[in-house]
Amino acid sequence: MARVVAVANQKGGVGKTTTVVNVAAALVERGERTLVVDLDAQACATFSLGLDPEDLDRTIAQVLVGGTVSAGEAIVPTPDGVDLLPAAIDLAGADRALAGVVGREYVVREAMSAVSADYDWILLDCSPSLGIVTINALTAADAVLVPLQCETLSHRGVGQLMETIADVQRLTNPRLQVAGVVPTLYDGRTTHARAVLADLGPRYGLHVFSPITRTIRFAEAPAAGRSILATAGHSRGAHDYRVLAGELVASVG
């Protein structure tokens, strides 16, 4: 059965999708069968893995709302060797559509159970919100990974996320663990970034993974529809995500 990891932070621009795509590619490099599930209506993971959301006939929205498509029917392969359950703009109405559904917190878990045996890892790319779909992701996950930019303002809202995770652990998923924080967009040349990094563990009482160094290569990769491991495999960013993938396997695997 796959290990399911939700990558979540309700703050946007902290590197959730970048982390999902590149950790997934690094896991594939390690020989792990890996599925990315795009749970964000902006469909950035879908685009970053080389698919145009507007050209898709089957997406995660049809799997979650109405059940007209199974998860297996919507999964597509990508050039990086990662399988993808893509998203499109139609996912934007999922929170509203699921609001009146009995057992609405378990829809993603049920969908993943149908394909879990086919993978070693399932990575859930959550939207920058704490809505029903994100609660679904946390309910379906074995662990949650929290990307956090190494800037003071990025700390705002993490407490709320931790409260939400605690509620999920109490009400819908007692097995959920917090794998830890991933410091992203890290520039070790600045005193501020080093101070923020040093503060993360004591502040939140969480494991802190090795930081992901800021590099322009991360902006270039999605334009090619590939991971940074494919477009700049010898770069510092690619190295950092290979290290993170190894740490994740050791932590959650």
Of the two residues 253 and 32, the one the predictor is more confident about is: 32
Has residue 27 got a pLDDT over 80?
Answer: yes
The pLDDT > 90 percentage for the chain reads 76
Residue 191: its pLDDT value, please?
Answer: 82
Is residue 73's pLDDT more than 70?
yes
Structure tokens of 166? 């605690």
Region 178-201 average pLDDT? 83
Between 192 and 2, the more confident residue is 2
pLDDT value at position 68?
Answer: 85
Domain hosting 64: range is: 3-252
pLDDT (tens digit, 9 = 90+) per residue, 117-135? 999 999 999 999 999 999 9
Q: How far apart are the first and last CA of the chain?
A: 11
Domain count within the chain: 1
| Phi, psi (deg, nearest 5) at residue 237 | -60, -45
Sequence-distant (6+) residues with CB within 8 A of 101 are: 107
Q: Report pLDDT for 200.
A: 76
| Exposure letters 201-223 (e unless 16+ CB within 10 A, then b) | eeebebebbebbbbbebbeebbe
- Identify the bridge partners of residue 149 per DSSP, sorted by sequence position: 184
Of all residues in the chain, the percent with pLDDT exceeding 70 is 97
Q: Residue range 37-64: average pLDDT?
A: 96
pLDDT above 90 for 12: no
Q: Which of 54, 49, 90 is nearest to 69 (CA)?
A: 90
Query: Quick one: pLDDT at residue 153?
Result: 62
Q: Name the average pLDDT for the chain.
A: 92
At 197 the pLDDT is 77
Instruction: Let me know: does 183 contact 204? Beta carbons within 8 Å.
Output: no
Residue 54 has pLDDT above 80, yes or no: yes
pLDDT score for 196: 78
> Could you tell me the CATH number of the domain that includes residue 94?
3.40.50.300
pLDDT in the model for residue 154: 66
Mean pLDDT of 22-37: 98
Model confidence band, residue 75 (pLDDT cutoffs 50, 70, 90): very high
- Whole-number pLDDT of residue 204: 81
pLDDT 10s digits, 148-177: 887 766 676 788 889 999 999 999 999 999
**pTM of the predicted protein model:** 0.95
